[in-house]
Amino acid sequence: MLRKSLKITFFNLTLAGALWAQAQVLDITSPTSGQSISTSDVTVSFTMAAYFAVGDSACADCDGFVRAFLNDVQVASVNSTADFTISGVTDGSYLLKLEAVNPTGTSFNPVIEDTVSFNVVGNPELCAPYDVLVYPGDGRNTIEWSEPALGASGGLGCGDFVVTALPFTDINTNVGMLDDWDLTASDGEDVAYTLNLSSETTINITLCDASTTYDTK
């Protein structure tokens, strides 16, 4: 029984040591866990153990490459330890995972990975609230404001054009417009329409003719 117990203990120590060693292979240094980022471009920095050579997929002279995931969706394949950027990340909470895989893209056993959680705030930049009022009170203040708009009757706000009335139809182009409404993995010149409503309303929107390939969100 003593010999069996010693064998089990030795096996557990060996397995724990292997898992600890694998965990030290890859380490995300930026962003840090819990960090709040105010841009749509997230710069990722990481380190690899000196004995792990990072290269291209299917390489013959490296140990493997690194895959990057945001909320379990792959967003990049990395073939060096240099910093890289994930663009078009909008407001929200994210789990960044980096996993080192072998040259064929297969996970190691145990898996070599590291994760951090971070937040993106203020992207796209929010419009300033309209008509901010502060009411002083006994030990507390009450703040009241209206939606971002140019006046009580509404206005352009953050959009490029105003929906003047319903029903509304417009034929336009995004040529020459800015890329200021980024979505993850989606870039390009965009157009935004502002619709000011004074009460809860249900509307139906049709975007683009069926023969076009215009990207709409």
Complete DSSP assignment for 129-161: PEEEEEEE-SS-EEEEEE-S-SSTT---TTSSE
pLDDT single digits (tens) 58-79: 888 999 999 999 999 999 999 9
More confident: 135 or 160: 135
Mean pLDDT of 9-38: 67
Whole-structure pTM value: 0.52
pLDDT value at 128 more than 70: no
- Residue of 159, 127, 125 lying closest to 38 (CA atoms): 125
Whole-number pLDDT of residue 212: 60
Which residue is associated with the tokens 């708009």?
Answer: 149
d(CA 155, CA 164): 9
d(CA 13, CA 10): 5
In terms of CATH architecture, what is 36-120?
Answer: Sandwich (2.60)
Length of the chain: 217
CB atoms within 10 A of CB 98: 21
Mean pLDDT lowest for which of 99-103, 165-169, 186-190?
A: 186-190
* Cα–Cα distances in angstroms (integers) from residue 199 to residues 142, 144, 186, 194, 202, in the given order: 23, 18, 32, 15, 10
Concatenated DSSP letters of 25-81: TEEEEESPTTEEE-SS-EEEEEEE-TT--B--TT-SSSSBEEEEEETTEEEEEE-SS
